Structure 1
Amino acid sequence: MTPAHSKGFICRDCLLAGHYGFAGQDEGLSVPACPSCGGSRVVLHDELFSLTMAHIDCDAFYCSVEKRDNPDLNGKPVIVGGGDRGVVAAACYVARQYGIRSAMPSWQARKACPDLIVIKPRMSHYQHVGRQIRQMMLSLTPLVQPLSIDEAFLDLTGTQKLHKKSPAEVLAAFQQRVRSEIGVTVSVGLAQNKSMAKIASDQDKPDGYYVIGEVQAQSWLQDKPVQILFGLGKVSTKKLNAAGLHKCGDIAACPAPRLRTLLGRDAERVKQFACGIDPRFVETSRAAKSVSSETTFAQNISALPDLLSIAETLAQSVSQRLKDQQMDAVNVTVKLKRPNHQLLTRTRRLDRPTQMAHRLFEVAAELIEKEASPDKSWRLLGVGVSVVDEAAGGTEKAEPGPDLFAPLDQDDGHRQDRLEEALDSVRTKLGAELVKTGRRFSFEARKQKKTPDKT
């Protein structure tokens, strides 16, 4: 006689949690309805209440924020990205039904879906919403490792006493809270390690909750395509496929020497991932190595004043991200692309680390001025920095704060620092678009003259 067993369950509608008892071992048994509210959104798994590693990913984040802010966009194909010569930064799930994906050229996306709605990115706004969600994550556990503005790993080990409930229950409540307070949805992957949690969160999008247990990990991966593995790029995937390794089970069974021939030093890590093993810890102090912002122009630009105005805006965007993450730049890089896609980059080390926009722009402007000329036109401009993060153990010494009582005739840029701090405060209260420099105002005026209102 088959012994009885039970599985943990959570209702994602009413948050009831407990165990379902079964008389047999029928793994094909359908998920039962919630015994309390009758809802069908029930998570059911043998190891539900023992797993502690999660990956949380916001669903089509940029587009979700835009649809939240403008409900008229609901149900419509929307992308966030540049103009006709830009690329898709994000595509909503409706747009994805037309084959539209991130990094696709915007013109190609428009061709695939004539009714496509294209929205100009509002990065500072997305970052603000992302920070709100990040703070909510930190209320669950201090062990949060951001991967980007809209996703992170969370290790909830040892948090049960604090929350008086299991990590699985905490995550279900977190989903509800983000939906009600922020107005977007997130998908949750729960597993025994980072690699499996990342894979799990991709299995049930959007607004999903997927669990992969420790016992089942390797068997679950056995027949999955190799590209499902976290961090395995297109080049490595092609190498594996060309060698006849198409499934994760193929990698798990592959002799180590052969795998090293194909993947080099990554072979051991990939083999572990294919077996459901990932010994890495959540890295809370992991620092970004660089921060950048770039834009592709609707029309080629050669005029130096226009290039400098755009560079100033990009420098402000980079500066704001540095300030938000409490990091300092140690060098500035300018990226310029010609109409024929020829790429040029120029880098200069700063005299001292900074996060101030006016200092970043000053260096970027000097680099641009050396390359610009009336007979040269450009289709893309980017401004980036390499950073040092003191909290992550950086060795560079950040510049000291300005002396508010220093005589103005001895000021070495600190007066501009104080002015920028004041403007930052105004932007925070009134919005970034309401505070413009004279350079940007003049640039926008020139654009209006070139494209007069046809009405």
Structure 2
Amino acid sequence: MNRSIVHMDLDTFFVSCERRNNSKLNGIPLIIGGGDRGVVASCSYEARKFGVRSAMPIRMALRLCPDAKVIRGDHELYSNLSHTVTEIIQERVPVMEKASIDEFYLDLSGMDKFFGCYQWTKEIASAVTKEAGLPISFALSANKTVSKIGTGESKPVGRLEIKDLDIRPFLNPLSIKKIPMVGDKTFQLLSRIGIRTIHTLSEMPVLVLQQMIGVNGKELWKKANGIDENPVVPYSERKSISTERTFTNDTMDVVELKRLISGMAEQLAYQLRQEKWLTSTVVVKIRYANFDTETKQCKVSYTSADHTLSRVALELFNKAYTRRMRLRLVGLRFTGLVHGNHQMNLFEDTEQQMNLYQTMDYLKNRFGMGALGRASGFDFEK
């Protein structure tokens, strides 16, 4: 059976959410981001015409587009609207995967005989716009890679169907940057030997690509040829991630307890980034030697940054640990998760902080979780 895979993407999601609630923002250059030293989380098409892009420092964005209006952003609004769109889509399709806060894959394979996959997808997109008040683009094709590239090419408010015979003609003239797994380093490497279009990449010998970029060479070649067997994974919301430590001997060593909590925060934040989650709630749990248990929690702006989560966790520990009594257990939990692309808190973090986390995660991925970390999380007496 031929596959029918749809990729749906909410257009300039954060910007659209703000405009939904304030029509005065329509038609003007708009930047969503975190203050003077922060970076651009999202920007309108009007701002993009001046060269403004996501993850660009706010100061640089305003130099390019001085008339742009900057809004700090409403994290709760974006999360609630994402949930609304998820429900609208999920109740209308047999299989849906939520790829990020504003991206979805649908598997409509076999549905043509009932209604027509393209017509069905158009009606879903119309329902999103009508019920949630948000613009959405989509592309329908044989697999996830082609449909995702198609959505990008069809924006804004795009409606595109790429049939099997049209896949290669559609992909061939496009830049290799359009392939989801091609980052800046891979693009630069391939560009140096003259590979800049998908057509040229598709004709490269697989073994040569594997020698150049490693094990991903074959997968990259397949995507350039419009081949992608990856399934649409049914969506299920993960509620929280957590860790806790029960001591062999009860303790009231506050310095050691804070070191442990700081290390827990770093470990869980790294896990969030690896699994592409952002958290909105931090929960600290302590259990005294007499088994009395205390928990404290705090709402935060969506983030996966160690320095933010560690600070909040330590503040909650100070509020929870009020008795001069030994502890037998401490625990840390992040909840209120949203599944998003690998990103730091674009509303709060500076460009330097984002680069630091990317470097730290690279080193941890290569050498292991214990390869490096914050000084507050290490026990130097061991």
Q: TM-score higher than 0.5 here?
A: yes
Q: How many residues align?
A: 279
Contact 1:141 1:159 in 2 (8 A): no
Q: Pick from 172, 185, 188: which aligns with 1:235?
A: 185
Give the conservation status (yes or no) of the 8 Å contact 2:89–2:128. no
Give SS of 1:216's match. Answer: helix
In 1, the alpha carbon distance for the partners of 2:269 and 2:189 equals 32
Larger mean CA deviation between 121-130 and 217-226 belongs to 217-226
Report sequence identity in percent: 27
Of residues 59, 63, 70, the one that matches 1:111 is: 63
In the alignment, structure 1 residue 212 sits paired with structure 2 residue 165: no
2:230 to 280, 284, 293: 280
TM-score norm. by structure 1 comes to: 0.55
Aligned runs of 1:249-264 on 2, under 5 Å? 249-264=199-214
> Where does 1:419-438 land on structure 2 (aligned, <5 Å)?
none
- 2:209 maps to a residue whose letter is L
Tell me, what secondary structure is at the counterpart of 1:328?
A: strand
The residue aligned with 2:125 is 175
Residue of 240, 258, 261 corresponding to 1:366: 258
Contact 2:144–2:228 (CA under 8 A) maintained in structure 1: yes
Structure 1 position 82 matched with structure 2 position 34: yes
* d(CA) in 1 for partners of 2:15, 2:262: 38
CA distance in structure 2 between the partners assigned to 1:368 and 1:110 by the alignment: 42
**Residue in 2 that maps onto 1:194:** 144
| Displacement after TM superposition at 1:256 (Å) | 2.1
Note the alpha carbon deviations across 1:127-147, whole angstroms, 9 max, x for none: 110011111121122422222
Residue 151 (structure 1) shift: 0.3
Q: How does 1:313-328 map to 2 (within 5 A)?
A: 325-328=238-241
Q: Please give the root-mean-square deviation of Cα atoms over the aligned residues, in Å.
A: 3.5
**Residue 384 of structure 1, aligned match among 259, 266, 269:** 269
Residue deviations 1:356-396 (CA, integer Å, cap 9, x gap): xxxxxx99x9359989xxxxxxxxx9x93636xxxxxxxxx
Question: Which runs of structure 2 are paired with 1:41-120 in the superposition (5 Å)?
Answer: 52-120=4-72
Aligned partners of 1:140 and 1:156 also within 8 Å: no
Select the structure that is richer in helix. 2
Give deviations 1:292-323, integer Å, cap 9, x for gaps.
Answer: xxxxxxxxxxxxxxxxxxxxxxxxxxxxxxxx
Q: 1:139 to 1:285 in 2, by over 3 A?
A: closer
Given the superposition, is the C-alpha separation of residues 368 and 105 from structure 1 closer, same or farther in structure 2, using an over 3 Å criterion? Answer: farther
Q: Which runs of 5+ in 1 are unaligned?
A: 1-49, 287-323, 331-349, 353-361, 372-380, 388-401, 403-408, 424-438, 441-455
CA contact (8 A) 2:118 2:161 kept: no
Q: Indicate conservation of the 8 Å contact 2:40/2:53, yes or no.
A: yes
Pair 1:351 & 2:301 matched: no
Task: Verify the 8 A CA contact 1:51 1:168 in the aligned structure 2.
Answer: no
- Judged with a 3 Å threshold, the aligned counterparts in structure 2 of structure 1 residues 195 and 165 are, in CA distance, closer, same or farther, namely same
Equivalence for 2:197: 247
What is the distance in 2 between the residues matched to 1:370 and 1:222?
49
- Please show how residues 128-143 of structure 1 align to structure 2 within 5 Å: 128-143=80-95
SS in 1 for 2:148: helix
Give 1:34's aligned residue: none
Instruction: Give me the whole-angstrom Cα distance separating, in 2, the residues matched to 1:258 and 1:269.
Output: 13
SS of equivalent to 1:188: strand
Partner of 2:338: none
Tell me which residue corresponds to 2:330.
none
Max Rg structure: 1
1:336 aligned partner: none
Distance 1:385-1:237 versus aligned 2 partners, 3 A rule: closer
Q: 1:285 to 1:167 in 2, by over 3 A?
A: same
Q: Tell me the alpha carbon deviations over residues 47-103 of structure 1, each in whole angstroms, 9 at most, x when there is no partner.
A: xxx762000000000010001111111111111101110000000111111111100
Structure 1 runs of 4+ aligned residues shifted over 6 Å read 368-371
SS in 2 for 1:75: coil
The 1-side partners of 2:261 and 2:122 are apart by: 53
Give the TM-score normalised by structure 2.
0.66
